Structure 1
């Protein structure tokens, strides 16, 4: 493992969504993405009381007996809705499965919507009646903040601020509730192997509990530890393809904490913001020139998602 440097210039900046002018925020966000593939954002406007309620509900669900959680097994829908048990997911190219269990919540579409074939209906745990209304509200909050961040990304790329509105309308975005159970003090290895995210951008709550690391351009692993309540944002592979790798999707992982914290569960809530399933991902014209030829062939967002879900073992080949 490469030694983690601690120079000030190696630290992710913390950006304010309300304390910076629109153009300044867009420029700073784009610069952080180009350098790290990641950014940290505060003053995002997420309802703190709702977030606290959702942390409590997430813990209540994962504390349920395994036989109860398995009633909501997501295997039949490619892991897109409901429960995925401990150890089932494996990072692309990894040799060992990740040490986590999770629950997925997606977008509710109107009956008969043309995109319904690509997005299964949500399922909800009957044992926790407050679960559905609380997480439906949290999903909407993530969705709203995600659109604001995409507006800043569009400005950074020289696009109209509303450019992403159409491509993400009814997008197949997913809110994941993650639980990394305790491990023994002598445990070696990592909780989630190095990987890149599939989607457009990821908005993450819960990285305050140490363990998340990103790999910088020199190959060093840098810790990502935001202030309490801040969001960690990272570029996914779909945005990387759309920008012809101008905004890079960065490898990241979750390592085991120091021995004195290994008996503590780790919880987080990433929101994977996706394009519409029928959106064709091909490089933006301003990101392709003689010095930067097209890197990836065009592919629909749905086909790319299915390709990657097969890679990580959630959909059978």
Structure 2
């Protein structure tokens, strides 16, 4: 494997601001933009996106809010517990000691955002609740539009509404402490996401890298305005192997704390991932049988040997 952090290859950049008419379904611009998004997801498994759907002041408010959240006592943050893998609080890991994260299921629902806020601040923090709910709602709007583009690009638009009805989301906030002395600079080990797509908002501290299909590690520049879209294993399965779940990691080199937050689209509890018949033909025989997403997660995280395998999806759901 080549260590390509110095590789000049860049991930694709897709501009949703350039032509507002291209965001209207049924237009020629929409068709071209759908193809551009699909191409990025097939070739790289990720892309940077420019979108004016998320106001800059809201992004800044969210970064300020999560810093206050991470300043809370560990005992308080551990109240964000979930029996489902990586749905709740993660911290103090021997594998990634610099990483800390909390998750909020269905944060775009005001009652869920309020429940999380009241768990962290029993005396109330309405400002945090409003920022969390507003930010997660805006990112969800972007997520839904990108998924619609992908469905339309495959000619599976009629499956979109039922797909959305069967999906939910987790909004995760993340903190990386700077390495000290001889401490490892690994903020987050190389992995693929297991959900449909992830949309990340990054601060200005560098660290995110994605792996090309050739094995090179590509540095993804960070800025307060960065929005990164990452394909997960679930979309690979849904697309019958066409979309590429990109492996990515966080490598820390600056003497600063690093913050990010993102929305992860997932099947609802009990949801099944199934390849649409439109994506199966003589050139693309069926690769994956229908499977329950939560059972897939349980399979992966119950066996660390499976987690380390790059073909866990094929092992679990391959035809």
Same fold (TM over 0.5): yes
In the aligned structure 2, how far is the partner of 1:5 from the partner of 1:255? 10
Structural mapping, 1:70-219, within 5 Å:
70=78, 72-76=79-83, 78-81=85-88, 83-87=89-93, 96-97=95-96, 99-107=98-106, 122=116, 124-126=119-121, 129=125, 130-160=127-157, 163-169=159-165, 171-206=167-202, 208-219=204-215
| Superimposed CA distance per residue, residues 16-70 of structure 1 (whole angstroms, 9 cap, x where no aligned partner) | 1132421221111111111100011002411222221111110111122334433
- Unpaired runs of 5+ residues, structure 2, are 23-29, 306-319
- Unpaired runs of 5+ residues, structure 1, are 89-95, 111-115
When residues 279 and 64 of structure 1 are mapped into structure 2, their CA distance, relative to the original with a 3 A threshold, is closer
| Superimposed CA distance per residue, residues 234-282 of structure 1 (whole angstroms, 9 cap, x where no aligned partner) | 111110000111001111111122xxx1x21111102101133343212
TM-superposed CA distance for 1:77, in Å, is: 5.7
State the number of aligned residues: 289
In the aligned structure 1, how far is the partner of 2:5 from the partner of 2:180? 27
Runs of 4+ in 1 over 6 A off after TM superposition: 5-8
In the aligned structure 1, how far is the partner of 2:59 from the partner of 2:302? 32
* SS at structure 2 position matched to 1:182: coil
When residues 269 and 30 of structure 1 are mapped into structure 2, their CA distance, relative to the original with a 3 A threshold, is same
State whether structure 2 residue 242 is matched by structure 1 residue 235: no
TM-superposed CA distance for 1:7, in Å, is: 6.9
Q: Relative to total residues, which structure has the larger helix share, 1 or 2?
A: 2
Q: Which residue of 1 aligns with 2:2?
A: 2
TM-score by length of 1: 0.81
State whether structure 2 residue 279 is matched by structure 1 residue 282: no
| Superimposed CA distance per residue, residues 82-124 of structure 1 (whole angstroms, 9 cap, x where no aligned partner) | x322327xxxxxxx346311111111699xxxxx9xxxx7463
TM-score by length of 2: 0.80
Q: Which residue of 2 aligns with 1:29?
A: 37
The RMSD of aligned alpha carbons is 2.8
In the aligned structure 1, how far is the partner of 2:251 from the partner of 2:43? 22
Q: Which residue of 2 aligns with 1:69?
A: 77
